[in-house]
Structure 1
Amino acid sequence: MRSDLVALQAFIEVARDNSFTKAAARLGLAQSSLSRTIRDLEESLGVRLFTRTTRSVSLTDAGERLLRTAAPRLAEIAAEMSALTELQSKPAGLVRITCSEMAARLIWAKLSTVMHDYPDITVELFTDHSFTDIAAERFDAGVRLGESLEKDMIAVRIGPDARLIPVGAPSYFTQYPVPVVPQDLTAHRCINLRLETRGEIYAWEFEKDGRPLRIRVEGPWMFNSVEPTVQAALAGYGIAFVPEHEVQEHLQSGKLIAVLDDWCQPFTGFHLYYPSRRQNSAAFEIVVNALRHRG
């Protein structure tokens, strides 16, 4: 039984990067030993788990199926064993969270002072704009906007409602008229955002009196994250569509001007999510409680 668990863990490590070399380094094994373990596992199951060539390693259909089922269960076992250990000691251990850059800033603001009280807890924030499979990638939790959450997850609200608003520098609006309705944006120089999750350019979304509206814009710059989008707007290159809280200081100082305010409706803010069947460690519970939104 123990050898089966060891083999499954070895399989998951290889599948993470489709690499025997990297997996062997993480596990502290010789690559030949790791290869033999995987061959033994394949023989015991009677199926090939990996397709190997001289240049690459990739999962077979059977390997994909085993990864989907085995990785979450082994993660549960590891979490349960960690939780049992912590019953006899003070909260300690690693809490891994995948999130966007914006969410990372929110998490840092909430945890940066609290964690001084828990020197044995380590928090890892992995910034990623894709919809990561937290179980397969061995994260404890992820952060998404509430409207994007999957149904089989426990969700804990960690931030207030948010809004996306169009903003531009005063220097830009000395050259171009202030838009009155969203359709006016098609005649403006706008700063686009490409969504990493789908690879497409984001269509700006507005709503007024229950009437939704999506506008596709054009302009001199395109980014895949918010911060350079804000910088381009500050430099007067055009209008950017960004989270209001990300530009609050610039709005107050007059470096940016918001437009179309009555077309910008709030939406559900950030939530921490994790599997409902997860056995949580004491360290994880402390992090969740510190992040919980109480506004």
Structure 2
Amino acid sequence: MSDRIDASVADIEAFVAVARSSSFTRAAEGLGTSKSNVGKSVQRLEAALGTRLFQRTTRAVRLTEDGETYLMASETALEGLREAGQALAARRAEPIGKVRLDLPAGFGRLLFPALAELRLRHPRLTFELALNDRMSDPVSEGWDIVVRIGDLPNDGEMTVRKLCDLRLGLYASPDYLKQRAEIRSPADLPGHDAIVFRGPTGRLRPWKVADGPHIKELSLNPVLALADGHALVEAAVQGFGITQIHDRVAQPHVDAGRLVHVLPGSDVPGPPVHAMIPLGLKMPAKTRAVLNQIVAYLQRTD
């Protein structure tokens, strides 16, 4: 059995270029190489196929019968390779696959409409969500996007993008407010039932309220302390008392009549919201699409 000599794509491309131009010189110019290299490519191809592809004279280069047969197959094969390359490039550019997001419990639910909108445009995109208020490790836990409210850890392995700013306000259910004394100023707050958030460190988060030009911090004895931001909102909706939550989280409930904004003039600037993405050479198209969608949605609903 004789040794097999495989034809390379480069050799086939050189053959096609010569066949189309009927010239080794013009083929070399079109390929950006030398006439000698084109000649060697054709020779290797002929050796691999065991046949002559061209009839060469001093005046012309013509395809043999075998050359005409191989040209048709070569053009079809090269076109198939080009189409496959384009399909792979489109796949890299199109958002396809699963994106894993770690989101704050209350704030994360606001992003459901944004993700639903994105899936309508890109149905091959899927999501895995974690909704919690703990500080996860984005890199070791394999998250594509981690959204955090407040201060961020110093982490050189992450790319950070600011999503929005929040404001802190006081909210309670209409039923609770009907049953209790009217609240005219921050001085009335200590007499009311407080629902307070317990942070990841275990510390109860005090309320901060604007009282004229000053911002005061109120440490309260809560009727309910919760470490889950979503549960904090639900407790207020159920009438446990007054809670201090972020404006974006509260607004859908205010619009639906489930919560009332208490002392709007006492709202204070809240923490920023950032997205963290594990640092890499290039952000995947699927991750970039989700991040851009979240940013656009928050800007639109601001």
Q: Aligned pair in 2 of structure 1 residues 280, 231: CA closer, same or farther (>3 Å)?
A: closer
Output aligned runs, 1:67-216, within 5 Å: 87=89, 89-90=91-92, 91=94, 92-145=96-149, 147-148=151-152, 150=154, 152=156, 153-158=158-163, 160-195=164-199, 197-208=200-211, 211-216=214-219
Number of the residue aligned with 1:20? none
Structure 1 residue 255: deviation in Å?
Answer: 4.6
Of residues 252, 257, 261, the one that matches 1:258 is 261
Number of the residue aligned with 1:233? 236
Structure 1 residue 116: deviation in Å?
Answer: 2.7
Q: 4+ residue stretches of structure 1 with deviation over 6 A? A: none
**Structure 1 unmatched ranges of 5 or more:** 1-84
Number of the residue aligned with 1:280? 283
Distance 1:278 1:214 in 2: 44
Task: For residues 197-229 of structure 1, give each alpha carbon's deviation from its aligned partner in whole angstroms, at most 9, with x where no partner exists.
Answer: 212222112245663322122243222223433
Structure 1 residue 279: deviation in Å?
Answer: 2.8
**Structure 2 unmatched ranges of 5 or more:** 1-86
User: 2:117 corresponds to which letter in structure 1?
Assistant: T
Distance 2:143 2:112 in 1: 17
Distance 1:127 1:190 in 2: 24
Other structure's SS at 1:113 match = helix
Task: For residues 249-279 of structure 1, give each alpha carbon's deviation from its aligned partner in whole angstroms, at most 9, with x where no partner exists.
Answer: 5434655332222221233543222244453
Structure 1 residue 101: deviation in Å?
Answer: 2.0
Distance 2:179 2:268 in 1: 28
Q: CA RMSD in A?
A: 2.9
Number of equivalent positions: 209
TM-score by length of 2: 0.59
Structure 1 residue 98: deviation in Å?
Answer: 0.9
Other structure's SS at 1:213 match = strand
Other structure's SS at 1:292 match = helix
Task: Work out which of the two has the higher radius of gyration on C-alpha atoms and give 1 or 2.
Answer: 2
Other structure's SS at 2:98 match = strand
TM-score by length of 1: 0.60
Structure 1 residue 126: deviation in Å?
Answer: 1.5
